[in-house]
Amino acid sequence: MNELRIGLLSISDRASSGIYQDKGIPALEAWLAAALTTPFDVESRLIPDEQPLIEQALCELVDERQCHLVLTTGGTGPARRDVTPDATLAVADREMPGFGEQMRQISLRFVPTAILSRQVGVIRKQALILNLPGQPKSIKETLEGLKDDAGNVVVPGIFASVPYCIQLLEGPYIETDPQVVAAFRPKSAIRDTKS
């Protein structure tokens, strides 16, 4: 059974140079620990906003470390130093536009400037690569979606689709805690892992 491997890549000039503490990777690690019931390994990197370095890190996580999922945080806006989506597209085999569209839909519930985000989702070889926002609160909302006071999903988070996507890429079967985010897949793709 191939164990789920997740790459976490935080992109920030200031955090990578020690000016302030990186919040992206700890937020992602905490969310994944709460959301996933499938065991997983994490490979994490903290790098500056330099396109060649981002491309190199993405290729290393996918090609050498054999990650099934790579989550980036930071560098997705319109500023000149925001090159995460450009680096992601440069190493992609195929684009998955639905992920970027849904991330902006979620963020638009909070701020009109969400349309300035250039977040993308792509496939490289066996891996799904997703550009997430930089703020821990936004990371959680994007992955988990938005719920009403009764806990019903109002806007689905992008992670609901991730386990089935990884399954279609012939990666491990991923299960989640439905209290955090319910993995959605067609009935024909559901496996009974309890027996």
Strands 121-124 and 69-73: unpaired
User: Quick one: tokens of 178?
Assistant: 């439905």
- Radius of gyration of the chain, Cα coordinates, nearest whole angstrom: 16
**Is residue 139 helix, strand or coil?**
helix
Full-model pTM? 0.95
**Adjacent-strand bridge partners of 36:** 176
Per-residue pLDDT of the chain (195 residues; tens, 9 = 90+): 579 999 999 999 889 888 889 999 999 999 999 999 999 999 999 999 999 999 999 999 999 999 999 999 999 999 999 999 999 999 999 999 999 999 999 999 989 999 999 999 999 999 999 999 989 999 999 999 998 888 888 889 999 999 999 999 999 999 999 999 999 999 999 988 765
Domains of the chain: 4-189 (3.40.980.10)
